[in-house]
Amino acid sequence: MAVSRLVLSLSLAVIVAAAGVATAQEKVGKVSFPTSCSAAVQQELERAVAMLHSFWFSASTSAFNAAAQGDPACAIAHWGIAMNALGNPFAWPPAPKGLADGWAAVEKAKAAGAKTQRERDYIGAIEAFYKDAATVDHRTRALAYLQAMERLSQRYSDDREAAIFYALALNATALPTDKTYANQLKAAAILEKVFAEQPQHPGVAHYLIHSYDYPPIAEKGLTAARRYAGIAPAAPHALHMPSHIFTRRGYWQDSIESNRVSAAAAMDHFNQLHALDYLAYAHLQLGQDAAAKRVLDQVNEIPKVNVEHFVTGFALATIPSRYALERGRWAEAASLTLFAKEFPWGRFPQSEAQLVFARALGAARGGDVAAARRDIDRLGALRDALAAAKQGYWVEQVEIQRQAAAAWVARAEGKKEEALALLRSAAEREDATEKHPVTPGPIAPARELLAEMLLESNQPVEALKEFEATMRVEPNRFRTVAGAARAAEVAGDKAKARHYYTQLLTLGEKADAERAELRQARAFLGK
């Protein structure tokens, strides 16, 4: 493990150094996308598609615009602009501006008059997503796009780009409640075949990581994760994406290296803050509280945030929340305030909810029931706002948070059975869905919270079971491992206590803070 992390760290450093002297095509990967556009713009088109595959939307749009200017009859260039306007499909639905810009690009593509049926089919497929956006709900249009891409990939079976974009659509429309991962595994089967043929394709590596970004199958994504940054070193998102798999596996040092480089390379707040969220989370799992604080300070030093999507606000809310909760600083969590700097929190209830939940949890666990209840009421209002906006996934996630916070209020009021029942319900609901790609993990896993409450309730055997269940989803989490060690010790299971305390000291081998849990581990192992 240590060797692989060292290799990754060195390889990332080499990649970033090499990016400055590589050719444009080498920086973003290699894509073959033949079109009827003039030969003079073909290379720029393929470069634009490569950047699109790494979600480098601004650079890709600029390249597609350059192709359209170089060849006004190049309809597929406007298709590319429409694809970029979708934004990150794993953070759908697109913002209203994206829908408007995308539809305008579709109309330009149709007006330009594509010269081949294949190109007209590409344009028709993305038109299915944008058409009637004001009256037809997002999922219906997303599924229409998926079906159009499936037909396109079948009609042009030799067109690898059609297959790749179809695989992306499969992933983007997968239901978070489907624990068979049917869409994701279908997409992965398509992508693995193309990866064998085109090992330098950025989209294939990228979408394979997304396909496998789930605890039971994350191991399958390691090959793509270890190769993607080297395929497209100029794309900030390509430097970050490997950390999705590293996080699922609990490879924190690998995640740190990926996100440190990605955040430094990012040219917008969307990518920078997303990487910083993963970076802070990874530092905290290694007991590197001072390093996590430096990340938080970096966020606070941003003079003004570009408002693009809820992802930006999500990181602004989660980074300070994680810094307080992962260290068990309840008073600090209870005093959290929303990052201002002109950020429109009202537009993104799911982002605000992250900090409100952390604050409610901190207040409840610190004994301030009145403050906790105010934040629980706020979570209910945010949940209702999300329901009105038909954001079903986030409605469920915020309700899970509301229940978890309410459980700790019940505990503070002495209602122990009610508290445990609420947390069990929250844990079961969280188990029934998947975490969103925008986050490295929940602010506080519900089942971990249940385990902590059981331990506080002098039920160490049951607590240990819940800590171990949490580990199967969130491996190598500092608080989970520490909790399991303590539960095993109290339960009298010396073998498991020794195992988990040893694991905890390994996690904290390069800690920059003297956490109480590490002192406890050393004390136990020294007996």
- Going from the C-alpha of 378 to that of each of 166, 312, 382, 455, the distances in angstroms are 40, 21, 6, 29
pTM above 0.85, yes or no: yes
- Is a pLDDT exceeding 90 seen at residue 376? yes
Average pLDDT over residues 6-25: 40
Give me the mean pLDDT over the 418-443 stretch.
96
DSSP state of 22: S
**425, containing H or E segment:** helix 416-431
CB atoms within 10 A of CB 499: 15
pLDDT digit string, tens, across residues 102-156: 999 999 999 999 999 999 999 999 999 999 999 999 999 999 999 999 999 999 9
User: What would the mean pLDDT of 402-416 be, rounded to a whole number?
Assistant: 97
Predicted confidence at residue 335, as pLDDT, reads 98
Q: Report the alpha-carbon distance of residue 327 to residue 323 in Å, rounded.
A: 7
For the stretch 295-325, pLDDT in tens is 999 999 988 887 767 888 999 999 999 999 9
How far is residue 273's CA from residue 278's CA, in Å, rounded to a whole number? 9
Select the highest-mean-pLDDT range: 50-54, 336-340, 343-347.
Answer: 50-54
pLDDT at 302: 86
For 446-527, give the CATH class: mainly alpha
Residue 440 has pLDDT above 50, yes or no: yes
In the numeric block, the tokens 């790749």 are attached to: 164
Share of the chain above pLDDT 70, in %: 94
Predicted confidence (pLDDT) at residue 277 exceeds the cutoff of 80: yes
CA distance 380 to 383: 5
- The stretch 47-71 carries a mean pLDDT of 96
Closest-CA residue to 432 (of 213, 175, 139, 220): 175
> For residues 140 and 161, what is the distance between their CA atoms, to the nearest angstrom?
24
Is the confidence at residue 47, as pLDDT, over 70? yes
Average pLDDT in the 16-32 region? 59
CB of 77 closer than 8 Å to CB of 65:
yes
Q: Do domains 23-232 and 446-527 have the same CATH topology?
A: yes
Q: In the numeric block, which tokens belong to residue 432?
A: 């029934």
Mean pLDDT score, 55-83: 97
CATH of domain 23-232: 1.25.40
Task: Using the Cα atoms of residue 164, residue 170, residue 176 and residue 177 in order, give the sign of their dihedral.
Answer: negative
Q: What is the mean pLDDT of the chain?
A: 93
Spell out the domain ranges in the chain.
23-232, 304-444, 446-527
Residue 437: phi and psi, rounded to 5, are -60, -20
